[in-house]
Amino acid sequence: QVHLVESGGGSAQVQGSLSLSCAASGVSGDDCITWFRQRPGGAREGLVGRLRLGGTKYYDGSILGRFSMSRDSASAKTTVTLTMNKLWFDDSGTYYCAAKRGDCPATGSAGAFDYWGQGIQVTVSS
């Protein structure tokens, strides 16, 4: 059974930084884990995803050069981190960690992912 739990959200100032973590269990290194963001009133949008090995797949061009994702495995638990720099107002929203069996999809469509964390709030202010 896959279980995802996000932590580390909160508030940051514009141009500031925040890191989010996702503790994932029940996934293998060959399963894709991806970060999503949902702005108020909007849909969940894929940001970045990766397998344990291999390259990182960026789904949202606005985060290039600002956000990075890492993925580590220790025994049966996987920790995924989203490091967010140079935050801007429209980075505010609820961030979700999501997983699917197999490769990361070509697009960051929420419908491709079967397992979701509970979400965590990020608020960027001046």
The first and second tokens of residue 85, run together, are 């720099």
Of the candidates 78, 38, 70, 66, the one whose C-alpha atom is nearest the C-alpha of residue 54 is: 70
Task: Indicate the SS3 state at residue 53.
Answer: coil
Classify the C-alpha dihedral 94-4-83-101 as positive or negative. Answer: negative
The count of residues in the chain is 126
The Cα 96–Cα 32 span in angstroms is 14
Separate counts of helices (H) and strands (E) for the chain: 0, 11
Q: β-strand 10-13 against 120-125: which pairing, if any? A: parallel
The Cα 29–Cα 21 span in angstroms is 17
Report residues of the chain scoring pLDDT below 70.
74-75
Q: What pLDDT, on the 0 to 100 scale, is given for residue 76? A: 72
Q: What pLDDT, on the 0 to 100 scale, is given for residue 4? A: 97
Q: What pLDDT, on the 0 to 100 scale, is given for residue 75? A: 64
